[in-house]
Amino acid sequence: MALRAYAPERLTQDVDIIIHARDEQVARAAFTAAGYRIGNPLPISRFTAHPQDETGYSIDVLVLNEPWLDEALAQPVCDCAGFPVLARQFLILMKLQAGRAQDIADITRLLRRTDHTERSIARTTVATYAPDLIDDFDALVVLTDLEFGTESSAAT
């Protein structure tokens, strides 16, 4: 859902939320009390809360213990429906750290409509919290521009 704040929405089967690792047990208890069934743990620090019936959405809960999480949660951006989502730079950082194929594709979608200032903010965030990934970020910026063009070239 967070991507729709920055890029055209893609079809998804669930909703993702992010919580601190320290809040995992409380979150599990809250989902259970609300009638959700907790599924088996998923790879990459997450679990899924399934609705009791098939009419609701499953919720993938990403359980993170990242040094940037407090800052990210303190600066939410609202998507088109008014839901709070991560600011673009933290979404890029999180997806870069996850490194799965869909995450990399999502990063290019996040970058393709950014100006120099937004890219600079994202690069600074990556350099601050994951300096080992800065070359990957820079490469994705270049690949995004090669595939989609830059904002300045799209206007001409």
Tell me how many domains the chain contains.
1
In this prediction, residue 154 carries a pLDDT of 40
In this structure, is residue 10 part of a structural domain?
yes
In this structure, is residue 34 part of a structural domain?
yes
Q: What are the percentages of helix, strand and coil residues in the chain, rounded to 5?
A: 50, 15, 30
pTM listed for this prediction: 0.83
In this structure, is residue 98 part of a structural domain?
yes
In this structure, is residue 46 part of a structural domain?
yes
In this prediction, residue 83 carries a pLDDT of 85
In this structure, is residue 60 part of a structural domain?
yes
In this prediction, residue 113 carries a pLDDT of 84
pLDDT at 10 over 80: no
Q: Which of 4-18, 25-39, 62-76 has the lowest mean pLDDT?
A: 4-18
pLDDT in tens, 66-93: 999 999 999 989 888 888 889 999 999 9
The tokens for 97 are 């750290």
pLDDT in tens, 103-123: 999 999 999 889 999 999 999
Q: Which of 33-37, 55-59, 142-146 has the lowest mean pLDDT?
A: 55-59
The mean pLDDT value of the chain amounts to: 86
Q: For the domain that residue 35 is a member of, what is the CATH number? A: 3.30.460
Of the pLDDT bands very low, low, confident and very high (cuts 50, 70, 90), residue 96 is: very high
Burial of 80 (0-12, 13-18, 19+ CB in 10 A): exposed
In this prediction, residue 100 carries a pLDDT of 86
Q: How far apart are CA 5 and CA 14, in angstroms?
A: 17
In this prediction, residue 13 carries a pLDDT of 62
The percent of residues in the chain predicted with pLDDT above 70, rounded, is 84
Of the pLDDT bands very low, low, confident and very high (cuts 50, 70, 90), residue 151 is: low
- Domain interval for residue 98: 2-150
In this prediction, residue 12 carries a pLDDT of 61
Q: How far apart are CA 39 and CA 121, in angstroms?
A: 37
In this structure, is residue 114 part of a structural domain?
yes
